[in-house]
Structure 1
Amino acid sequence: MDISVVVPLYDEVESLPELTSWISRVMSENNYSYEIILVDDGSTDGSWDMIVKLKEGNPFIKGIKFRRNYGKSAALNTGFEAAKGNVIITMDADLQDSPDEIPHLYRRITEDKYDLVSGWKAKRYDPLSKTIPTKLFNSATRKMSGIHNLHDFNCGLKAYRKAVVKNIEVYGEMHRYIPVLAKWAGFIKIGEQVVEHRPRKYGKTKFGMSRFVNGFLDLLSIFFVGKFGKRPMHFFGSMGTLSFFTGMILAIYLIAEKLYDLSHHVIPRQPTDNPLFYFALVAIILGSQLFLTGFVAELVARSASERNKYQIEETI
């Protein structure tokens, strides 16, 4: 099969007939073998009934229904598991992504040999309350991930080589950082394609301001797990050692200061009168806790079932 189109959706009953018809038309015009995987993330507006109806008239449509709303990441991950195409295209169900982009995205994967191609909506129809925070997050993600050639990590319109989606796990709010997940999994040929951003035709956006806080926390999680997931002691141990020895140096300094005063027959100050005493105490305690955290995390990592699971591209 050439292409799997994975569409996560939540309460998008009005757009589904037009979207699936549009995708099918593009596939037929280009003679692609394909499937459309619609993942209903706990909709309450009759979206699932519409999917069942659409499948009766289009055998290329497949539907997956969650019992409740789990979020876009869960829907994408489930769609990735079900996908059978050599190239996987993801797009939102609100018709703001154009299926006419599919042929070019497909060629970028099959002919240009990219692992992942992410859409960039250079001209957007979103309000400033959404575009400004998005730009800030994209800037932070570029710096932390080292993927400097992407302008928009969160664009729903993306194309993947099959091996990519089968070797990454998307959870939490990680769908915003799939290119980062792909890079940590060893897929480094990541490109970008300018795509059309269409105004929303039906319904309203399902994302609130809380997604920016969650997105930032997930970015930190990706950075930590990707860099130190298999060696947590390197992170916690180094931080703990640095903090502990900083506290010890301050403590030795305070002791030396008191001994100096005694040797010169000067009445020494009480250690608690010096603010450095408290800095030293906190640094020693914090350093010990960080070191112990690293030790426990190392034990957990070494006991994990996937401690020696690595991405192997090819064997001969």
Structure 2
Amino acid sequence: MRDTEAPEVSIVSPVYGCRDCLSQLVKSVTDTMDASGLSWELVLVDDCGPDHPWSLICQFAEEDARVRGVKLSRNHGQHLAIWAGLEVCRGEWTAVIDCDLQDDPEMLPALFEEAKESKVHALLVDRGDWSDSWIRRAASTQFYRLVKVLAGIEIKNVGNFGIYSRHMVDTLLKFREQEVFLPMMVALTGLPSRRSRIDRSARAAGESSYSPLRLLRLAAAIVVRFSDRPLKLSALVGFAFSTLAALISVYLLFGYLLGAFTVAGWTSVVLSLWFLSGLILVTLGIHGLYLGRVFAEVRRRPRLSVMYTTFDREGGKEAIPKGSDVSVDYD
């Protein structure tokens, strides 16, 4: 059961490599939300970044109880860090924003009002024009195209920035996958949503951890987690080549019977063997990725490991001491 003193709004921000702008983030959220008249909380999730932001998060929490900190035991990645925040947020509406201030906190009150008036469970922010390099923008564009083609779900130019209802958050938390991707899973809920365009601001600190290669790996991981299209594609390719092989076999048989072939060629045989062997290995690799996904799921390991929090855990239990070695696993 959620806290009876739950705020109207929760703001979740995964923290990695942005220690230098955390003070600016907290101040911007505080000034904006106080001016809006809405009750709020800010959940900062330390994803074990290289700049060690936990001490600073604890300081913010001591100065303002509305700031709540969660420290993961190791680096889990951005999306699982978001999930850790969703696990503990209490608001009737929840916003997810990046810690580097590319998602402007000053836009939150207007987005909350738009979400309420629209009667949707998710208001997704189209990121509009970016201030990142053209290489980064081009890589993201290709990332969205690849996901659409292979996974069949369009999440064009939508990231994690958005407003989510309590019902949406509770529905998302019912997903039991070991690995998560927020925009895709919001789409999979089937709950009503809409988009609102806001151009991204310049990054206040740090740099993107998503290189073109990492975006490619992420796209492949998303496709394997949320779609079976590659399996179907491999079956279709196999069927097509089998059909082609059958037609060629008929042609070769008639040619042999008619005496058209007097010298057996080895080039075509060698090339065919190499090509088909490569195709078989690629197909086996695709199936192996899915088997690996099944293996990861059936192990049923906790997908999150929380080391510390700055607040009392739900249910009246004591807070985890900031200097203790206690860890808590959220399944």
TM-score range, shorter chain: 0.7 to 0.9
The answer to whether the 8 Å contact 1:37/1:63 transfers is: yes
Distance across 2 between alignment mates of 1:122 and 1:251: 54
The answer to whether the 8 Å contact 2:140/2:215 transfers is: no
The answer to whether the 8 Å contact 2:127/2:158 transfers is: no
Distance across 1 between alignment mates of 2:58 and 2:288: 52
Distance across 1 between alignment mates of 2:242 and 2:289: 18
Q: How does 1:207-246 map to 2 (within 5 A)?
A: 207=209, 211-228=211-228, 234-246=232-244
The answer to whether the 8 Å contact 2:42/2:67 transfers is: yes
Distance across 2 between alignment mates of 1:141 and 1:128: 20
Partner of 1:157, secondary structure, is strand
Please name the residue that 1:165 is paired with.
172
Counterpart amino acid of 1:54?
F
The answer to whether the 8 Å contact 1:120/1:152 transfers is: yes
The answer to whether the 8 Å contact 2:96/2:163 transfers is: yes
TM-score, normalised relative to structure 2:
0.70
- The yes-or-no answer on 1:50 pairing with 2:56 is yes
CA drift of 1:51 comes to 0.7
CA drift of 1:139 comes to 4.7
The answer to whether the 8 Å contact 2:150/2:227 transfers is: no
Please name the residue that 1:134 is paired with.
140
Aligned residues: percent identity? Answer: 17
- When residues 248 and 279 of structure 1 are mapped into structure 2, their CA distance, relative to the original with a 3 A threshold, is farther
CA drift of 1:284 comes to 8.7
- The yes-or-no answer on 1:247 pairing with 2:245 is yes
Distance across 2 between alignment mates of 1:287 and 1:246: 16
Distance across 1 between alignment mates of 2:52 and 2:76: 17
Counterpart amino acid of 1:187?
G
Distance across 2 between alignment mates of 1:294 and 1:125: 39
The answer to whether the 8 Å contact 2:127/2:200 transfers is: yes
Deviations 1:252-307 (CA, angstroms, capped at 9, x unpaired): 3322321221xxxx66332x447278538854995699589869969x969x769x
Partner of 1:14, secondary structure, is helix
Counterpart amino acid of 1:18?
Q
- The yes-or-no answer on 1:204 pairing with 2:202 is no
Any unmatched runs of 5+ in structure 1? 307-316
Distance across 1 between alignment mates of 2:286 and 2:163: 39
Distance across 2 between alignment mates of 1:288 and 1:13: 45
Distance across 1 between alignment mates of 2:243 and 2:101: 58
- When residues 253 and 32 of structure 1 are mapped into structure 2, their CA distance, relative to the original with a 3 A threshold, is same
Please name the residue that 1:312 is paired with.
none
2:189 to 186, 190, 205: 186
Please name the residue that 1:70 is paired with.
76
The answer to whether the 8 Å contact 2:139/2:215 transfers is: no
Q: How does 1:1-316 map to 2 (within 5 A)?
A: 1=6, 2-141=8-147, 152-154=157-159, 156-161=160-165, 162-168=169-175, 175=181, 178-183=182-187, 185-187=188-190, 189-201=192-204, 203-207=205-209, 211-228=211-228, 234-261=232-259, 268-270=262-264, 272-273=265-266, 275=268, 278-279=271-272, 283=276, 286=279, 290=283
Counterpart amino acid of 1:159?
I
The structure with higher relative contact order (CA 8 Å, sep 6+) is: 2
TM-score, normalised relative to structure 1:
0.72
- When residues 248 and 158 of structure 1 are mapped into structure 2, their CA distance, relative to the original with a 3 A threshold, is same
The answer to whether the 8 Å contact 1:241/1:291 transfers is: no
- When residues 268 and 140 of structure 1 are mapped into structure 2, their CA distance, relative to the original with a 3 A threshold, is same
CA drift of 1:213 comes to 2.0
Any unmatched runs of 5+ in structure 2? 1-5, 300-331
CA drift of 1:89 comes to 0.8
Distance across 2 between alignment mates of 1:289 and 1:248: 22
